[in-house]
Amino acid sequence: MSNLSSFNPEHWVKKYADALYAYTVVRVNDSGLAEDLVQETFLSAWKARDSYKGEASEKNWLFTICKNKIIDHYRKKSNNIVRPAEIDNTDHYFNNEEHWTKESGPLDWGIDYTQPVETKEFYSILELCKNKLQELQQAVFVMKFMEGVGSDEICKVLNITPSNYWVLIHRAKLQLRSCLEKNWINP
């Protein structure tokens, strides 16, 4: 039986709607779509309320549903996105673990990320830079670095080859680095 015997949908909306919206809008870059996905999250939670076992907190359960709604959105949308041509995987910027090589890694930017003002400013610039990525690059970046989805799952969800994944993530990292250095590090 559900641990939500006193479930009240208004409670979820009042308590979690803003946080779910903030979580979603930075991942889909569209306020209307974010609102729709949050509404779908609440609808799915309502439909699944009897199967909620209380193994996760109410908040974590709703965020998991929302994360899955975001991934489903990218899955559906991936059929309409133009895919890049596959290129040679030899890379001078990243190693096999997708980290910067020693020779090409960014310089120490001298930023104290423990300071709230710098963190807020950084994330606003990151959001602007992320919005400049091509649609599929953005989808891959969000799923990989914001949702923590593994590369195999991203390929499956977006219906892309591992080579296309590699090209997309590679180009996204390079473009984000360039944009951050231009707009945040050396304005």
Tens digit of each residue's pLDDT (9 = 90 or more) over 30-67: 889 999 999 999 999 989 888 888 788 888 999 999 99
Tens digit of each residue's pLDDT (9 = 90 or more) over 86-138: 444 445 556 666 666 666 666 565 666 566 656 777 778 888 898 899 888 99
Rounded Cα distance between 175 and 178, Å, is 5
Q: Which domain holds residue 49?
A: 9-80
Query: Model confidence at 1, in pLDDT bands (50, 70, 90)?
Result: very low
The DSSP secondary structure of 64-117, one letter per residue, reads HHHHHHHHHHHHHHGGGSPPPPP-----SSB-TTSPBPTTTSPPP----TTSHH
Give the pair of three-digit tokens for residue 58.
């109410």
Asked whether residue 168 carries a pLDDT value surpassing 80, the answer given is yes
Residues 69 and 95 in one domain: no
Rounded Cα distance between 71 and 66, Å, is 9
Specify if 158 maps to a domain.
Answer: yes
* Domain C-terminal end among 65, 80, 95: 80
pTM for the structure as a whole: 0.60
Residues 75 and 90 in one domain: no
* Domain C-terminal end among 26, 49, 80: 80
Number of domains in the chain: 2
Residues 103 and 76 in one domain: no
Q: Which of the pair, 12 or 97, is modelled with greater confidence?
A: 12
